[in-house]
Amino acid sequence: MRAWFLRYRKHLIWLLAVTVFLAAYFLLRRSRPLMNALADHVTTPFKWAMAHLCGFTEVSVAEVFYLTAAAAAIFYAAHFLRVLITRGRKGDTVCRFVLTVVCVGVTFYAGFCLLWGVNYHTDSFQDRSGIVARQGTVDELRQLTERFAGELAEAADDVPRDEEGAFDGDRGAILRDAPSVMADAFDTFPALRMDDVTPKAFANSLAMTAMDFTGFYFPYTGEANLNMDCPAAFLPATAIHEMAHQRQIASEQECNFVAIAVSAMSDDPAYRYSGLLMGYVHLANALYGADREAYRGIAATLPDAVRADLRANNEYWDAHHTGFTDASQKVYDSFIKSNGDPNGVRSYGMVVDMLLAYYG
């Protein structure tokens, strides 16, 4: 046993150190004051600095990281196979390979917990804004859905459209305008105040589509990354959603609320329309389960332009749904739950309660 330990001591010490760190994290995350201090004074300032450093290039550094990591993994696997075939002591080769993969994987997860998982245990956006999710009556839900549908219908003619009638906004301009749209909401939502950088376009957006992501926040670089391949109608609101994550808001329901509320109040036609569209979808889906007849009555009032965007969005995601999509969502769901949110990805639908609290 001693000889085995000495042979692999570097890997074992590495694994032990990361295990101790994770054990301490899972123990200490129960302390809200400690997590607040860690996020406010360490992790969030670090991510803010990284975002501004990466902001010197329009290229997504997160994407470069993933591509480099993928290339390194392929190279290492090929090297492992070569050594396994050409050299002796195959057991030692396999053991070193497995230990290295485990150590790297656990270290990446530990870093994610430190830079992102901490935010699941700090004061939430609801705590800081005073806008607390509440359940409402079916009639309240119907009225708010009607309100969003009416404003959405009015806003539909203010945005550019393609020959199919679907939203056709300038995607690059949408990303460039995101910081100013967010800044316009600071007086209404002081908890969102931050010096922003422009969100990043993800060049290999089809890979993001395969994982059923319209965007993601990468804590190692502090960047908000957007899927530029999917229909653009939801892109403005999604940009605000990912920028909300930069403000140590972990909850998907809270980020969706921020995306809807900030976008819907904007003077920018593309953002206003996108926020109203996202809000309507959440409200209408909830109303469909509560009062199907009321849902159908409101849906019938939508103009053809809105229907075109909803149809284009549904057709796009239906066409790209694969088994890998389901697998990636299960992985993300497991990560959310491992950090203390029992709702997992289901928390995306809970935004309705915040909308009822704010607009009701």
Going by C-alpha positions, the residue among 136, 172, 154, 166 that lies closest to residue 283 is 136
| Tally of CA atoms within 13 A in the half-sphere of 184 that contains its CB | 16
Alpha carbon distances (Å) from 165 to 148, 161, 310: 20, 5, 11
Q: How far apart are CA 282 and CA 280, in angstroms?
A: 6
Which pLDDT score, from 0 to 100, does residue 90 have?
Answer: 77
pLDDT for 87: 74
**Which pLDDT score, from 0 to 100, does residue 238 have?**
98
Strands, E assignment, the chain:
200-202, 215-218, 223-227
Strand order in the sheet with 215-218: 200-202, 223-227, 215-218
Residue with the two structure tokens 């190692």: 220
Mean pLDDT by 10 residues, the chain (360 residues): 71 95 96 97 97 97 97 94 80 88 96 96 96 92 97 97 95 98 98 97 94 95 98 98 97 95 98 98 94 97 97 94 59 59 52 93
Domain ranges of the chain: 2-121, 125-359
Position 278 scores a pLDDT of 98
Residue 148 identity (one-letter amino acid): F
